[in-house]
Amino acid sequence: MPTIETKIMQAIKARVATIPLSYDKLWTDGEPASPPTTGGQPAPYVECHFEPNRNVRRFTGAKEASERPGLLLLTLCWPIAKVGAGSGKTHQDAIREMAASKVAAHFGTDNLLSFQGARVRVTNLPDVLGSYRDDAYLRVPCTVTLQAFT
C-alpha cells in the first residue's frame, strides 16, 4: 500500500499528464533529465516540480486529519530560437497566453485530484508569473497551491 505522500504525488502527476498541450512534461524532482529536442533542436516543454510544505495539525484529536499543503510549479519552457515575430516564431505574449489558458487554467479553484483514496484540492486560482529567459529558453512559471487532509 503506498504512503499518503506517494498517493498525493500520484494524484498530482495524473492531473499534470492531462494538461492540454502535446509538449513533454519533465519532472525536476526526480532523476536528472534532458530537455526534449525535435530534429536536434530544443523543443517546448512543461517543467514540473512539486514542493510539499510542512504538515499542519489543525485538530487536537489523536486520530484527526492533518493538513498537507504544497506548491506545484509548472513552467512552460519555449526555445529562445523560436521566440519572436518572424516566420516560424511565436511572440512571447502568445507563449504567456498559452501558459495561462492551457497550463494554469487546467488547475481551477477547488479542482479535486485523487489517487487511491487521497484527495488533493487546488486552493485558489493559479498564478501566472512574468516570463524570464535563460540561455536556451523563455520560461513562464505558473504556481498552483494545493492542500490535502489525511
Question: pLDDT tens across 87-133, in order?
Answer: 999 999 999 999 999 999 999 999 999 999 999 999 999 999 999 99
- What size, in residues, is the chain? 150
Specify the CATH number for the domain of residue 94: 3.30.2000.20
User: Tens of pLDDT along 71-90?
Assistant: 999 999 999 999 999 999 99
* Counted domains in the chain: 1
3-state DSSP call for residue 96? Answer: helix
**What is the pLDDT at residue 64?**
80
What's the CA gap between 45 and 25, in Å, rounded? 6
Look up the domain containing 43 and give its range. 4-149
Q: Residue 17, CB half-sphere, CA atoms under 13 Å: how many?
A: 7
User: Tens of pLDDT along 41-58?
Assistant: 999 999 999 999 988 887
